[in-house]
Chains A and B, each alone.
Chain A
Amino acid sequence: MIESVLFYLFSLVAIVAGVSVITQRSPIASALSLVVCFFALAADYVMLDAHFVAVVQVLVYAGAIMVLFIFVIMLLNIRETEPAAMGQLTARSGGALLISGLLGVALIAVLDSVVHQTPAELPAEYGTIKAIGEALFNGTYLLPFEAVSLLLTVGMIGAVVLAKREL
């Protein structure tokens, strides 16, 4: 019971923060809203018994990725030349709102038709580092894991090559 209440509460926070991300005028306010959204989603993961994913969400997303974003925003020191964000949203985005509104209705309609059944009983170690480690390194996901490590290396090299003035 309390799990459900907290889940809805944090989901509301996440959605409000998500709206704030796309309506804020300055990028830094958007970024901070996004941090709030990520924390609320991490709380949602805890309510869904995904403890390790919640921790990684806070460390990687709210920590590393958003620090990178805020660092770049402050490094570029962009002047706010945009008109008020809400006006901009309505002026140029009638089509965008229409398309994404249709997408949202379709998504919710399709996803709502998923079989309504009670969630399965959880094993004792569900969502712990041990269980996920077993799945990652002992199970079927070893190759994808290694592929992702390669991808991260390529991404790192690519970022350096792109952003450096001269090699």
Chain B
Amino acid sequence: MEAVGLVPVLAISAILFTLGVIGVLARKNALIVFMSVELMLNAVNLAFVGFSRQHAALDGHVFAILVMAVAAAEAAVGLALVILLFRNRVTVKLDDLDRMRG
């Protein structure tokens, strides 16, 4: 059985990462920005797994699992911040949060 090569994996990973960057830069909704960050983390995971497959090593898998754990912690803290934000300002639009602007 012919295995998938490394280059298409990395290309797909790069496309997904770029989509995540577009989401972070272009969207106003804090929740969708968080989801775009998750998309970028997943793109990186795909690259890890692809390199792991290429070299028949398991280090990439371990890294992917560690990234997932970090993403879980990040999502918990980030969503707690969003809840706090919504309680204080009744908005999740990032453009409305300009109190620190001088």
Contact = CB atoms under 8 A, between A and B. Distances in A.
Interface of A: 1-4, 7-8, 11, 14-15, 18-19, 21-22, 24, 27, 30-31, 34, 37-38, 41, 44-45, 47-50, 52-53, 56-57, 60-61, 64-65, 68-69, 72-73, 75-76, 78, 81-82, 85, 88-89, 92-93, 95-97, 99-101, 103-104, 107-108, 111-112, 114, 116-123, 126-127, 131-132, 135-136, 141, 144-145, 148-149, 151-152, 154-156, 158-160, 162-163
A121 B31 CA distance: 42
Nearest to A93: B26
- Secondary structure at the A interface, as helix, strand, loop or mixed, is helix
Contacts, number: 258
Given A7-B4, A131-B58, A19 B12 contact: no
Given A126-B58, A155-B74, A4 B4 contact: yes
Interface of B: 1-23, 25-29, 31-32, 34-36, 38-39, 42, 45-46, 49-50, 52-56, 58-59, 61-62, 64-66, 68-77, 79-84, 86, 92-93
